[in-house]
Amino acid sequence: MKEKLKRMYDNSTLAAKIRYFYLLLLVPAIIFLVFLLYNLWIVNRSYESMITSSVVASEFSLDFKKDFDYEIYLLLVENKSIEEAKLNDMLNDANRIVERLEEFTNSKDNISRLNSAKKYLKNLGIYKERIEQNLIEGNKYEVNIEIWENDVQIVTSLLQDTIFQYIYYEISDLQQLSAEYQNFFIRMVRFFILSFAGILVLLLFLSYYIPLSITRPIRKLSEVTDQVAKGDLNVHFEARSGVEVSRLSDSLNTMIDKINELLEQVTTEQIRLRKAEFELLQTQINPHFLYNTLDTIIWLAEAGKQKEVVSMVGSLSEFFRTSLNQGKDIIPIKEELQHVKSYLEIQQVRYQDILKYEIQVPGDLDRYLIPKITIQPIVENALYHGIKNKRGMGWIRISGRREEGGFMIQVEDNGIGISEERLCQVRDKIRYREPDGKDVYGLYNVNERIRLNFGEEFGISMESVYGEGTTVGIYLPYAEEGI
């Protein structure tokens, strides 16, 4: 019987459902009224609980830290004896307040804060007992002072901050609940007024409610189509009444899903295209570097410098071994550093009068991943656009450090640097993806490959002082192979 009634309702037209609506009008109204009253009761209980919690929390002495620290100090300097000190009373009062607060708060964060407060009070009790034991044993003034300064004062500060945070968030929740309570009360009053008025005029305005119940799902469907027309493809419409509207809803949702699939395909193709462009740029850079290096090897061979030739050929071999790397685009930091080291060894032979370098990256960063040929273009920029344009010996330093959420590889040089105006231009072109010129395009290429592989929050940053040098930071996530 139940399934039969359900099928009959699902297959009904809007006109038939309107008639069912009239028959069930009173039942939802009564249920909604009970719901409102129940929620009013729940909100009122929560409101009273928060008020009580705030009142109890306010009993905690605002001067607890100062009083407790001072009481300990008087004990240390023997202005008070252990029996005269009020430390036990202060701790007992504080524990009593914390235990009472646990009975009122429903916030997980504040419960966690109260647990922390209990731990702090427990620690204070331990420190108090240590100090008292040291006083009994005698000749431990320095030890007690150290406990007072390094343990007691820190824990009392943490305890006071925790209680203040508890009070602050309880009051904030209370204010929020008060606003919700007011809004709920206003809605409830409006509902009662509308319900009472609706019952009185239901028969007179029946002709108004019938077309409204018909046009409402259609209007909602119209709103969804307007959102789709404006470009919002995250919306869907689930028709709850009417066979006609349900069919329109299904067709619209199917159309939105197909559009999203097409957009995803286009985005994927664009990413592949951009990666292909970057790979093409790399194939254009490497031959140019190879020609210059081979010229240097020939020059060294003609000069009879066999050891330098062997060393440079070895460095060149290692450089291209890492560059190829079996076609991998993402490699460990260790391999990338070996790649840039080979590059610097080659360049140091060519520019031995103006170039020194050092690599100081902690070994615990070796296992993390980096896009291949990321550091070398930045080092190349430092050499050709920084050091070569400044007289005297230049240096390039590569370092690394851990940071929250990721780690930083820095490339520093003492070259000619960049003027403030040009630095702003370079930053903007990298940030807004408008590269122009080889010096900017190399940095742009590195930044885009990091973003494509790891996300928009990672990439490169630049700092420079004209006449002093430039620092380029490479911010990367803690990504490892197989994870």
Alpha-carbon gap, residue 87 to 218, rounded angstroms: 72
Q: Which pLDDT does position 398 carry in this prediction?
A: 96
Element (H, E) at 472: strand 469-476
Q: Which pLDDT does position 280 carry in this prediction?
A: 46
Which is higher by pLDDT, 285 or 136?
Answer: 136
For tokens 């807004």, the residue is 432
Q: What is the DSSP string of 407-420?
A: EEEEEEE-SS---H
Residue 233 pLDDT > 80: no
- Average pLDDT over the chain, rounded to an integer: 76
Q: What is the mean pLDDT of residues 117-125?
A: 86
Longest Cα pair distance anywhere in the chain, in angstroms? 111
Residue 190 pLDDT > 90: no
Q: Is 156:68 a contact under the CB 8 Å cutoff? A: yes
Query: Is 0.75 surpassed by the pTM of this model?
Result: no
Residue 242 pLDDT > 50: yes
Alpha-carbon gap, residue 81 to 135, rounded angstroms: 9
Q: Which pLDDT does position 60 carry in this prediction?
A: 61
Which is higher by pLDDT, 210 or 386?
Answer: 386
Q: Is 253:237 a contact under the CB 8 Å cutoff? A: yes
Alpha-carbon gap, residue 291 to 277, rounded angstroms: 23
Q: Which pLDDT does position 463 carry in this prediction?
A: 94
Q: How confident is the model at residue 389 (pLDDT cuts 50, 70, 90)?
A: confident
- Which range among 83-92, 171-180, 404-413 shows the weakest confidence by mean pLDDT? 171-180
Alpha-carbon gap, residue 135 to 428, rounded angstroms: 66
Q: What is the DSSP string of 454-470?
A: H-TT-EEEEEEETTTEE
Q: What is the DSSP string of 62-87?
A: TTHHHHHHHHHHHHHTTSS-TTT--H
Alpha-carbon gap, residue 387 to 191, rounded angstroms: 77
56-101 pLDDT, tens digit per residue, is 555 565 677 788 888 888 888 878 787 888 888 888 888 888 887 7
> CB within 8 A of 361, min separation 6: which ones?
333, 337, 398, 399, 400, 409
Q: Is 469:414 a contact under the CB 8 Å cutoff? A: yes
Residue 167 pLDDT > 80: no
Percent of the chain exceeding pLDDT 70 equals 66
Alpha-carbon gap, residue 271 to 183, rounded angstroms: 48
Residue 288 pLDDT > 60: no
Q: Report the Cα 83 to chain-centroid distance in Å.
A: 53
Q: Which pLDDT does position 284 carry in this prediction?
A: 45
Alpha-carbon gap, residue 386 to 413, rounded angstroms: 7
Q: Which pLDDT does position 276 carry in this prediction?
A: 46
Q: Which pLDDT does position 476 carry in this prediction?
A: 95
| Strand pairing class (330-332; 369-371) | antiparallel
Q: Which pLDDT does position 4 carry in this prediction?
A: 63
Nearest Cα neighbor of 457 from 405, 399, 401, 412 is: 405
Q: What is the mean pLDDT of residues 294-310?
A: 67
Q: Which amino acid is at 91?
A: L
Most confident region among 131-140, 339-348, 360-369, 382-391 by mean pLDDT: 360-369
Nearest Cα neighbor of 285 from 355, 387, 380 is: 380
Q: Which pLDDT does position 91 carry in this prediction?
A: 83
Nearest Cα neighbor of 450 from 421, 416, 431, 475 is: 475
Q: What is the mean pLDDT of residues 111-124?
A: 85
Most confident region among 57-66, 238-247, 401-410, 441-450 by mean pLDDT: 401-410
Residue 203 pLDDT > 80: no
User: What ranges make up the beta strands (E) of 239-354?
Assistant: 330-332
Q: What is the mean pLDDT of residues 199-224?
A: 65
For 361, what's the count of Cα atoms within 13 Å in the CB-facing half-sphere? Answer: 26
Q: Which pLDDT does position 469 carry in this prediction?
A: 93
For 239, which DSSP code? -
Alpha-carbon gap, residue 126 to 76, rounded angstroms: 16
Most confident region among 2-16, 188-202, 228-242, 348-362 by mean pLDDT: 348-362
Q: Which pLDDT does position 136 carry in this prediction?
A: 82
Q: What is the mean pLDDT of residues 462-467?
A: 92
Q: Which pLDDT does position 269 carry in this prediction?
A: 59
Alpha-carbon gap, residue 130 to 152, rounded angstroms: 11
262-299 core/surface letters (b: 16 or more CB in 10 A; e: else): eeeeeeeeeeeeeeeebeebeeebeeebeeebeebbee
Q: How confident is the model at residue 204 (pLDDT cuts 50, 70, 90)?
A: low
364-373 core/surface letters (b: 16 or more CB in 10 A; e: else): ebeebbbbbb
Q: Which pLDDT does position 177 carry in this prediction?
A: 67
> CB within 8 A of 230, min separation 6: which ones?
none
Residue 301 pLDDT > 60: yes
**How far are the Cα atoms of 331, 333, 347, 402, 474 from residue 479, in angstroms, in the given order?**
10, 10, 31, 13, 14
User: Long-range pairs for 322-330 at CB < 8 Å and ≥24 separation?
Assistant: 322/372, 323/282, 323/286, 323/372, 323/373, 325/372, 328/372, 329/275, 329/371, 329/372, 329/453, 330/369, 330/370, 330/371, 330/372, 330/453
Q: What is the mean pLDDT of residues 323-330?
A: 66
Q: Which pLDDT does position 186 carry in this prediction?
A: 80
Q: Which pLDDT does position 410 carry in this prediction?
A: 96
